[in-house]
Amino acid sequence: MLRYQARISGPLLDRIDLQVEVPAVGVELLAAAPDGEASSVVRQRVAAARALATVRQGTSNAGLAGDALELHCQLDPAASRFRHLAESRDIVTAHLGEAIQYRRVLQTR
């Protein structure tokens, strides 16, 4: 990754909100990993989720907009309080830690 990162300009990196470092995985570990789900199984699960959404709200989640979005995506009181925690008057250590996690720039070696 580092050889590719050096080719990206600083101003462009500043516009990337989330950077995730993924360590290299050895060939042996990859070869020993079990196979993933078959596409047909995933397709059935997606179809069931889309059917449920259509029964619940008359369209898929992607089709929700405006008032329908507000109606079908209401937060419960605990989730709403959690969402508003970031609206504090001051920047606190937890906010800074979260921002550092999201914006951590990989350092060249």
User: Of 6, 17, 25, whose CA–CA distance to 107 is shortest?
Assistant: 6
pLDDT at site 106: 45
Position with higher pLDDT, 78 vs 40: 40
What are the boundaries of each domain within the chain? 2-22+37-103
| CA atoms of 94 and 88, how far apart (whole Å) | 11
Three-class secondary structure of residue 23 per DSSP? coil
Which ranges constitute the DSSP H helices of the chain? 2-5, 10-14, 27-32, 39-57, 66-72, 77-84, 93-103
pLDDT tens, 7-65?
777 788 777 777 777 888 999 998 999 999 999 999 999 999 999 999 989 999 889 88
